[in-house]
Structure formats: structure tokens, C-alpha cells
Amino acid sequence: MLNVALPKGRLGDQVYALFSKIGYECGAIYENDRRLVLESPENGVRYLLVKPSDVAIYVEYGAADVGVVGKDILLDGNPDVYELLDLGIGKCRLAVAGKNDYVEDREAVLRVATKFPNVTKKYYASLNREIEIIKLNGSIELAPILGLSDVIVDIVESGRTLKENNLKVLETIVPVSARLIANRANYQFKNDVITTIVEKLMEVLPQ
Ligand code: PRP
């Protein structure tokens, strides 16, 4: 049985669509109940529905053999896993954003609100810019509106959240997409099945 950590939500739906295309259907997924473990013994797969930001933890510790996670989370958490494939879905970017009328004061320490403290530190260190990080867990866009921070480092997908809050992208840090990851030990144990999955996924990926 292959244990797959699926991120709950829209990305998870897209990932499941890809996995079902390559033979890992699991009818229970459509029952839409509150179960967090759904399996299809006939197809040799067990799906674990986890919070997107926790996928890499389940895979790193071997509770899941493989999983799908955004590159943003891999860059920030640097988990000890194999990154096997860029699935080309969940495309967005990590960017610095601020108010539409934002003007940087280069003399002052820059206050940056973010869910991604490590990527943020690395990015500003590369610019030799002194910053103070304000770690938030969501609704990051509120921070500059309320004067809690000067700017934010966050995911921008359509740009709608920024626009509707009178914010704009100031700099793009890195493009992001969903990646297939594997537990290092289980990758050796279940090498045949995981290698086959990678090959089959490559055939059905969006171009
Ligand atoms: C993410 C991100 C932005 C939004 C960007 O938030 O943090 O707020 O999506 O998408 P857009 O450019 O298409 O508007 P998420 O939905 O993950 O919620 P969060 O507030 O918990 O971060």
C-alpha cells in the first residue's frame, strides 16, 4: 500500500485528479465526509488528507511515502525529503508587497510580516538589508494596512487579494509550483512503485 499525503483543499483536488488518471482512484474521496484516511486496497493506495503546510512533515517522518507540497513550503522549511517532480500545478510566486503608495525608507530597519521567515531572511540577507520579521500565520495582507509592518512577503496567485486591499507587488522573490516529494528511506523500499508513479505522472502533467 502506498501512503500519499494529499494537501486538503483546491491543490489536493488537482493532485487527486492527476493520481486518479494514472490508476490510483479511490472512490471514497468523493464521499465528502470527515474521514482523513481514505484507501483503495484494490488500487494499492491510501490517501492521508493533511493541512498543506504539514505535508512535508508527514513525508519526512515516513508517515506518508510520498506527498505533494508547494515549493514555498520546501524553501522555507527545508525538510529532509527527496523532491522528485515539479507537477506544474498550484503555480504562484513568493513576492514582496506593500501599500500602493509605499515608499521605502532605506535608513530604517524594514519590518516584514510573513508566514515564510526563512525565505524572507535569506532574501533580505542577499540584499544586505536589515529587517525585523513579524511572523504571522494568515491574512498577512492586513499587516501593512494596519501599520503592523512596512511590507509583506507572501504568496501571490491571481493578485486579487493584494488588489482588493490596495496593495501591490514590489518585488518577486521566486516562482512557486507544487512538487512531488518522497520519504528518503521509503523511496528505497518502494522504489519500483514510486519510480513508476513519477514516470506515469510525467505523461499526464499539464504542459
Ligand atoms: C494565500 C496568500 C494570499 C492569497 C493570494 O492565502 O497568503 O493571501 O492566497 O492569492 P491571490 O493572489 O489569488 O489573491 P490563503 O488563501 O492561503 O490564506 P491565508 O490568509 O491563510 O494565507
Over its C-alpha atoms, the chain yields an Rg (Å, rounded) of: 19
How many whole angstroms separate alpha carbon 81 and alpha carbon 64?
11
pTM of the entire predicted model:
0.94
% of residues, the chain, pLDDT over 70 = 100
The per-residue pLDDT of the chain, averaged, comes to 96
Distance from the alpha carbon of residue 125 to the mean position of ligand 1, in angstroms:
25
**166: CB partners within 8 A, 6+ apart:** 99, 100, 145
Among protein residues, the one with the nearest Cα to ligand 1's atom 17 is 138
- At 16, which helix (H) or strand (E)? helix 10-21
Give the pLDDT of residue 133.
98
Q: Once rounded to an integer, what is the mean pLDDT over residues 77-97? A: 97
Residue 104 grid cell: 521605502
Atom of ligand 1 nearest to the CA of 141: 8
Q: How far apart are CA 131 and CA 110, in angstroms?
A: 5
pLDDT above 90: percentage of residues in the chain = 95
What pLDDT sits at residue 142? 98
What distance in Å separates the CA atoms of residue 109 and residue 130, rounded to the nearest whole number?
5
Indicate whether 109 pLDDT > 80: yes
Question: Does residue 158 have its Cβ closer than 6 Å to ligand 1?
Answer: yes
Q: What is the pLDDT of residues 28-68, one digit of tens each?
A: 888 878 999 999 999 999 999 999 999 999 999 999 999 99
